[in-house]
Chains A and B, each alone.
Chain A
Amino acid sequence: MTFIDPKSAAGKLARPEQKFDLLVVGAGPAGIAAALAGAAAGKTVALVDEHPVTSGMAGLDVPYFFGGRASAALTNQARMIEQVAAMLPRLDEVFDAGVEVMLGVSVWGAWVAAPGLETLPCRVAGLATDEKSWLVGFDEVVIAAGARDLVVSFAGSDQPGVMGAQALYALLTRYEAFNGRRLVILGSDTLALETALLALDKGLEVAGIVEVRAAAQGPAELVSALQERGVAFFAGYAPVKAETNVEGVVGLEIVPVAGGEVKKITCDTICLAIGLVPSVELLDVLGVPLVMDAEKGGYVPEQKITGCITAAGDCAGIAGQDLAYRMDWMRVLLATGGNGVLACTCEEVTRADVFAVNPPAYLGPKPAAMENRDLRTLLKDGPVDHDQMKRLTRVSMGPCQARRCREQIAMLLAIGAGTGPESIKLAGYRAPVRPLSLAALAATDDSPDWDVWFGIGAQWVPYADIGTARETEHLTRDAHL
């Protein structure tokens, strides 16, 4: 019989009550196809989707950049579940196939055994609603988590009414809970043009399409279709300021990139549609190697299949994304908006703070020695590192878990370091990948043999008492629990 350290994690985590041959995360087209294929192959299948998210999660821009434009309909979760279920493609097939469907349930982590992680009872995923969390086991997992919005900032973009195209699409089609009337769309590639067309089809007004490059980027037929419907294009313009009142956006100021008169467009919503980002957070937690793909929206899994883990749909890479286009936007926003604009709204870190590697405001005035430290001096020690910038400036450390700033910070770091964004290492994702409360995440089973540290009694014996009669007394009556 082998002796096992009783305070270690070995054997501690309980085997989940539920286990599935196949767990599918995300009930978009890719996830549903994977679930149906699994069921057809005779597997037990669970299909989990976090939609509809609660109003609390939407307020933290989970998973999309809702920007405060989700309507009060989200507060009725039961009603929203019916609504979202009704919009699922091939729903009848999924139920007929015996797939267990969980809507309004988020997946905040998933783990498979790896070097240094050998204490799992089986392959497990952490599931949660806003109220509780639980684990389910699986043999195989398909991550079909889709994509989220690429967010870049300008003055006032932290106010309600500035949102992302993915969020708008979800609110208009799946939730039917969009709280806006008149939009300005930022970007003019296919994503932006399709977003504008959808808005028009849903009876909304599109007050303009703003593009920093000299001409509209998307297919000519989409451009002319929008022009025929009276949509104005502002190519060669940059958004510089969202005008707001207490309810949020009431207009957008734009300025010619080459310089000139500011124009004002009246609107209640500004929709960022310059790019999408693969939702790779669960893949990162699972330990799947990620690589930068400049044409697929950012970091994507190196391979679609890694052992028992499959990445499917947009989270495996999004066609038609262009990193150079994003960088053009970032450079123009920087040139027209300046360094005072917030780069991370949660922690109120400006672009200037990023470039100067400023400590957070709560520390008071910057110490004299720090005046000589900035991004360029940091570069002398090695490549710029987003994770290191997080701990120095608190950028990307807020409750939105960097959904709103991650890519923008990487682009700013690339600009500040004089390198390309593809050279900026991905800041690591950590469970829980959704911001769940302590009460919701709390385990419901016991934590036996718990110790505040390793449970090594000798570690806490006061030095003077080591090797004396008192040592035994300390070892038998541990003060360090």
Chain B
Amino acid sequence: MTGASVVIIGAGVTGLSTAWWLAREGVDVIVLDKGVIGYEASSRNGGGATHYQSPLFHEEQRLWPMMDEMLGYPTEYRPRRIVVATNEAHFAAYQRITTVLGRLGYHAEILDAKQTREAVPLAGETAIGAVHIHTGGQANPQRTVQAYAWAAQDLGARILQHTPALGIEMAGGRAVGVRTAEGIIACDQLVVAAGPQSGTLLRGIGIELPIAPARAEMIVTEALPLMPLGGVDGNGLYGRQTLRGNLAYGGGWHEWMDELPLHGKMPRQSTPVLQHLSQRLAHLFPKAAHARVIRSWAGIVENTPDGRPVLDRPANPGNVTVATMSSVGFGLSPAAGRALRDLVIDGKCSFADIDKLSLARFAGLDPDWRRIQGWVAPSSFNSISQSQAA
């Protein structure tokens, strides 16, 4: 029987970072994934690394500048961000970011329209100002997930692709392995970082993780001359200019989905929403309006009822660590992996208070929470409407 001290379900960015942090200390780790590493939302996102809302923010900021060196593989990390305002309401809102960052001890400066156009050459007359955040940054999600995987492998971690977890085996009140088509993979400790599928897997062992999957979309243009700073958001969009020069941007309408299967092809179509992304990107960057859109992405992400992560090792069964970043996982992954390493090995995060990210906060949650919040697949509410009409 195969096995490892720690088995991680899900080779997304959170699972892979955790594996790397564990392997750095010589812990024997296996990561399994239903497909290829980082194939879902972990490699289809904006690449931003500026999450001031998170208790992991300081660690995120501390680690990113060191990640290329620590991993030994490139992540394409670049520091700083600019948020461009195209209307007064946005400008007022963005300026509040400076207050929040100031409380945390970070600097952000307000740019006027002229300064904005100088700092962001693709911006134009639509820009009325911006906030230049002197921290945070961006990296290439696709390259970063591979970097985690390779770095973890270099340290002895094993990554099993195309090995869907079908269930968790329990014995003596503890998780003892993961059921796969090839047999049981035994473990002393288990980390469930399976993204939208985590809820299904955990329910099988009596842990209720409330999450709802949804599809979000991005577009990618051909390469354009590099701006001095690629991490530019605004006009309802997040994203970046990649080091190659492409604009990769997302935002806007998401589509809630029913629970996803544990294996098989994930539905992840991009849709005509890309017309609206194009409109907003051309408005944010009038000087890029001629740029050709050459592809789009759709990724499926999960959200908890309050949109905040769950990083927790519940008392029962005691050797299962639950990890969801609630749709905001990429940028925080260096720090999240370290926090999860701490939870698995020490039972407590050593560098930040993450108590408010425990599962216990959902103890009294209405089982019908998705319907109450309106976070259901359209077919579900269509059938509800029809039954109500009848």
Contact = CB atoms under 8 A, between A and B. Distances in A.
Interface of A: 1-10, 12-13, 60, 109, 111, 114-120, 124, 126, 133, 135, 285, 287, 347, 359-360, 362-363, 367-370, 373, 381-383, 385, 387-388, 391-392, 394, 398-399, 401, 430-432, 435-439, 441-444, 447, 449-454, 456, 458-464, 466-467, 477-481
Contact of A111 (B238, B251, B272): B272
Contact of B292 (A115, A367, A399, A454): A399
A432 B296 contact: yes
Interface in B344-372: 353, 356, 371-372
Nearest to A11: B378
Interface residues of B, number: 102
B255 A459 contact: no
Contact of B162 (A13, A382, A443, A459): A382
A24 B210 CA distance: 44
Overall SS of chain B's interface = mixed
A371 to B, nearest CB: 11
Q: What 3 A-B pairs are tightest by C-beta distance, nearest first?
A: A459-B307, A116-B267, A456-B307
Given A430-B295, A432-B293, A447 B238 contact: no
A7 B388 contact: no
A463 B378 contact: no
Contacts of A373: 150
B292 A436 contact: yes
A459 B52 CA distance: 11
B243 interface: yes
B278 A438 contact: yes
Point out which of B154, B244, B327 has the most chain A C-beta atoms below 10 A from its C-beta: B244
Contact of A9 (B37, B57, B254): B254
A450 B272 contact: no
Interface of B: 36-37, 39, 43, 52-55, 57, 68, 72-74, 76, 89-90, 93-94, 96-97, 100, 103-104, 142-143, 146, 149-151, 154, 159, 161-162, 214-216, 221-223, 233, 236-238, 243-244, 251-258, 266-276, 278-282, 288-297, 300, 303, 306-308, 326-328, 353, 356, 371-375, 377-379, 381-382, 384-385, 388
13 contacts: A3-B373, A8-B214, A8-B375, A367-B72, A391-B43, A438-B293, A441-B274, A447-B236, A447-B276, A453-B238, A459-B327, A481-B89, A481-B94
A215 B172 CA distance: 72
Contact of A450 (B151, B266, B276, B294): B276
B89 to A, nearest CB: 7
B222 A398 contact: yes
A109 B277 CA distance: 15
* Majority secondary structure, A binding face: loop
Contacts of B382: 118
Nearest to A128: B275
A116 B268 contact: yes
B254 A7 contact: yes
A226 B356 CA distance: 80
A396 to B, nearest CB: 10
B17 to A, nearest CB: 17
B261 to A, nearest CB: 9
Given A13-B273, A459-B328, A460-B53, 4 more contacts: A9-B273, A367-B74, A432-B296, A438-B278
Contacts of B279: 438, 441-444, 447
A461 B96 CA distance: 12
A443 B279 CA distance: 6
B267 A114 contact: yes
Nearest to B251: A452
**Most chain A CB inside 10 Å of its own CB: which residue of B233, B375, B388:** B375
B321 to A, nearest CB: 20
A46 to B, nearest CB: 17
A302 to B, nearest CB: 13
B294 A479 contact: no
A119 B161 contact: no
Nearest to A121: B272
A314 B175 CA distance: 54
B271 A381 contact: no
Contacts of A114: 267, 269
A363 B272 CA distance: 34
A439 B267 contact: no
Contacts of A452: 233, 236-238, 251-252
Contact of A399 (B222, B233, B266): B222
* Most A-side CB within 10 Å, residue of B53, B236, B279: B53
B55 A463 contact: yes
A359 B267 contact: no
A285 B296 CA distance: 11
A430 B270 contact: yes
